[in-house]
């Protein structure tokens, strides 16, 4: 009997252990270990007593075979104590990164920080201002490139031109011409004509401005690196000692990369800039040599000189009376705005304009027309020592505007990459030559008032009478945009030299209107001004001549359709005039 009771007690203990083992783990681990052990013992004793009493009243049976419990997928998982690590099998990573991996991560972070700090410093570093012969230039740097040599940049009249001088390094100097003062040293500044000591001034000042710029850049790079690394350390909540190490190491690495990346440029650019003798040498334009002894005879008492292309000559209109060989070859007309100004003011006006004239071949150099060579217009202007004003109209033939019109008429689009690149190339070349022209005009002996005429817009985008020749509204919009870009260069160059810039307004009188100021496709010179268009240009110039000699753009008015030349001091325009102020595009 005692043996049977002992067997029953052992069997009850085994069942109690199985019941406790199947108890949810959340209940087992929610209680402290001591309480859990005491509870388990109490429950085991109570269960043993209960089972013993039940089994004594039942017939003896063999104990059931013990089976391993199946895991319950729905059973809650055990909750860990605060700070208790999960089992190794449940950890998302088996071990922490090694020391080399951590060093690689921090090195990558430092490199990214250095790149960001250097890029921001190059953007925000202030341009350094230098003054040379009364001219103001700002010195900075170009955007970094992947090449180790190349040209710098010169911002000339709103155009970024590549320098003729080559520099080493991924970043190169960028020069911005902000103010030009007309004085005795201007020609030396532009063309480099003068004593050798004076020529070296430009290069020395540019080199000094370059070094000052990089001093700012180095300082701003250091500040940017410290701010970025400090923010990273605060986000990671690094200890103070680790933060100081990170700041010191990151700062040293950033400046090493900064100085190493720009070392070629920073140390070779000053010596290259010191060799620059003139602005023309920087942009790669050859200085023009003029000879005032050559050219057409200048009548005495000339008050106004007109220089320019076919717009100023009056292409397609009746020729001047008693025309010379040069007048006939250049297509000068009696209805040109030069003749309008002469008649309305009673002035002696000398019209030197010629069809197809450009700055290089026409204004500053001889031009071949009709089998003969027409002398450079600037030569005669230099001998007109009593002239009080000079009006210039130039740029369309420099950009080969007529060829661009023909191309747009037959091409599917005018705004493709090829034609856009060609236009930009022509505009860059024109900007260089325009600098030479403005310099020659500023050096005229009589120091006359200089007026730069901008171009009228011949297109009305609301009218499409040109669609029959392939000129769609989209094409006219592209041509109008490019014409506005040319006008912006003309206006900015005139302003920087202290000259006046005007633009006639043909609004309501473009092509396809009832009373156009522009010759149509069936006329002798399509897209050129009519006689009324020439009068509109004369009125704009007259307004500038009567105004105080201040640089900038003047307001013009659209004349009425009645021409009444007078001998007074005002333009010969009768009828109403609708004032239309304009400004540069």
- Flag whether pLDDT at 291 surpasses 60: no
Q: How many CB atoms lie within 10 A of CB 446?
A: 16
Task: Specify if 152 maps to a domain.
Answer: yes
Same domain, 274 and 334: no
In a domain, 288, yes or no: no
**Same domain assignment for residues 362 and 275:** no
Where residue 199 falls among pLDDT bands split at 50, 70, 90? low
Same domain, 214 and 362: no
**Model confidence pLDDT, tens digit, residues 435-463:** 899 989 999 988 999 999 999 999 988 87
Q: What is the CA radius of gyration of the chain?
A: 44
Distance from C-alpha of 345 to C-alpha of 553, rounded to nearest angstrom: 22
CATH code where residue 519 lies: 3.40.50.1110
| Residue 558: inside a domain | yes
What's residue 264's pLDDT? 62
Domain shared by 354 and 488, yes or no: yes
Whether 492 and 527 map to the same domain: the answer is yes
Residues 19, 156 share a domain:
no
The reply to whether 115 and 18 lie within a common domain is: no
Do residues 312 and 448 both lie within one domain? yes
pLDDT at 585: 40
**What pTM did the predictor assign?**
0.65
Mean pLDDT score, 345-351: 92
Is the Cβ–Cβ distance between 561 and 575 less than 8 Å? yes
Structural domain of residue 12, as residue ranges? 1-54
Average pLDDT, the chain: 76
Could you give the CA distance from residue 510 to residue 457 in angstroms, rounded to a whole number? Answer: 7
- 173 and 210 Cβ atoms separated by less than 8 Å: yes
Question: What total number of domains does the chain contain?
Answer: 3
Query: Are both 272 and 310 inside the same structural domain?
Result: no
| Residue 11 confidence (pLDDT) | 53
Residues of the chain above pLDDT 70, percent: 67
Q: CA torsion sign, 481 to 482 to 483 to 484?
A: positive
Tokens of 68: 């391993």
| Same domain? 249 vs 167 | yes
Asked whether residue 243 is domain-assigned, the answer is yes
Last residue of a domain, one of 252, 283, 314: 283
Residue 193 within any structural domain of the chain: yes
pLDDT for the residue numbered 356:
93
Least confident of 188-197, 299-308, 495-504, 555-564: 555-564
427 within some domain: no
**Domain-embedded: residue 66:** no
Token reading at 224:
């940017």
Strand 552-553 with 500-502, pairing: parallel
pLDDT tens per residue across span 208-263: 887 888 888 888 888 988 888 888 888 888 888 888 888 888 888 888 887 776 66
Tell me, yes or no, whether 347 and 496 share the same domain. Answer: yes
User: Residues 28, 165: one domain?
Assistant: no
Judge whether 91 lies within some domain: no
Of the candidates 515, 507, 497, 492, which has an alpha carbon nearest to the alpha carbon of residue 540?
Answer: 507
């Amino acid at each position: 009997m005692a043996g049977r009771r002992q067997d029953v007690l052992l069997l009850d203990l085994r069942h109690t252990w199985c019941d406790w083992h199947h108890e949810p783990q959340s209940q087992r681990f929610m209680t402290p270990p001591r309480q859990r052990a005491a509870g388990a013992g109490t429950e085991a004793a109570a269960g043993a007593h209960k089972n013993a009493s039940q089994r004594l009243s039942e017939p003896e049976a063999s104990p059931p075979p013990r089976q391993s419990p199946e895991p319950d997928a729905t059973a809650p998982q055990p909750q860990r104590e605060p700070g208790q690590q999960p089992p190794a099998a449940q950890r998302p990573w088996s071990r922490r990164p090694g020391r080399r991996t951590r060093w690689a991560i921090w090195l990558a972070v430092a490199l990214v920080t250095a790149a960001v700090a250097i890029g921001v410093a190059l953007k925000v570093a202030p341009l350094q201002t230098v003054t040379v012969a009364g001219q103001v230039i700002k010195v900075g740097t170009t955007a970094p490139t992947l090449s180790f040599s190349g040209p710098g940049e010169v911002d000339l009249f709103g155009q970024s031109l590549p320098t003729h001088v080559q520099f080493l390094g991924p970043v190169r100097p960028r020069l911005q011409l902000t103010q030009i003062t007309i004085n005795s040293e201007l020609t030396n500044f532009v063309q480099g004509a003068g004593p050798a000591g004076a020529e070296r001034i430009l290069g020395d000042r540019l080199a000094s401005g370059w070094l000052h710029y990089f001093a700012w850049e180095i300082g701003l790079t250091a500040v940017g690196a410290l701010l970025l690394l400090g923010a990273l350390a605060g986000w990671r909540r690094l200890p103070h000692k680790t933060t100081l190490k990170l700041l010191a190491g990151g700062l040293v690495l950033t400046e090493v990369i900064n100085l190493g990346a720009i070392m070629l440029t920073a140390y070779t650019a000053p010596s290259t800039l010191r060799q620059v003798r003139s602005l023309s040498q920087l942009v790669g334009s050859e200085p023009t040599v003029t000879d005032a002894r050559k050219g057409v005879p200048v009548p005495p008492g000339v008050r106004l000189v007109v220089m320019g292309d076919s717009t100023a000559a009056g292409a397609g209109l009746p020729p001047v009376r008693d025309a010379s060989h040069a007048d006939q070859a250049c297509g000068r007309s009696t209805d040109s705005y030069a003749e309008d100004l002469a008649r309305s003011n009673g002035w002696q006006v000398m019209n030197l304009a010629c069809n197809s004239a450009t700055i290089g071949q026409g204004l500053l150099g001889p031009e071949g027309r009709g089998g003969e060579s027409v002398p450079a217009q600037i030569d005669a202007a230099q001998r007109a020592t009593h002239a009080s004003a000079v009006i210039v109209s130039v740029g369309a033939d420099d950009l080969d505007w007529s060829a661009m019109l023909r191309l747009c008429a037959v091409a599917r689009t005018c705004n493709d990459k090829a034609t856009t690149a060609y236009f930009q190339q022509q505009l860059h070349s024109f900007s260089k030559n325009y600098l030479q022209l403005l310099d020659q005009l500023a050096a005229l002996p009589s120091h006359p008032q200089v007026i730069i005429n901008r171009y009228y817009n011949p297109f009305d985008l609301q009218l499409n009478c040109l669609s029959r020749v392939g000129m769609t509204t989209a094409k006219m919009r592209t041509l109008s945009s490019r014409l506005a870009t040319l006008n912006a260069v003309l206006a900015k160059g005139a302003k920087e030299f202290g000259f006046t810039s005007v633009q006639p307004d043909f609004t309501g009188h473009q092509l396809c209107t009832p009373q156009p100021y522009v010759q149509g496709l069936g006329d002798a010179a399509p897209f050129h001004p009519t006689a009324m268009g020439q009068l509109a240009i004369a009125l704009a110039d007259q307004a500038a001549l009567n105004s105080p000699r201040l640089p900038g753009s003047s307001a013009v008015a659209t004349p009425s359709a009645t021409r009444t030349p007078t001998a007074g001091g005002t333009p010969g325009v009768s009828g109403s005039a609708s004032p239309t102020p304009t400004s540069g595009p």
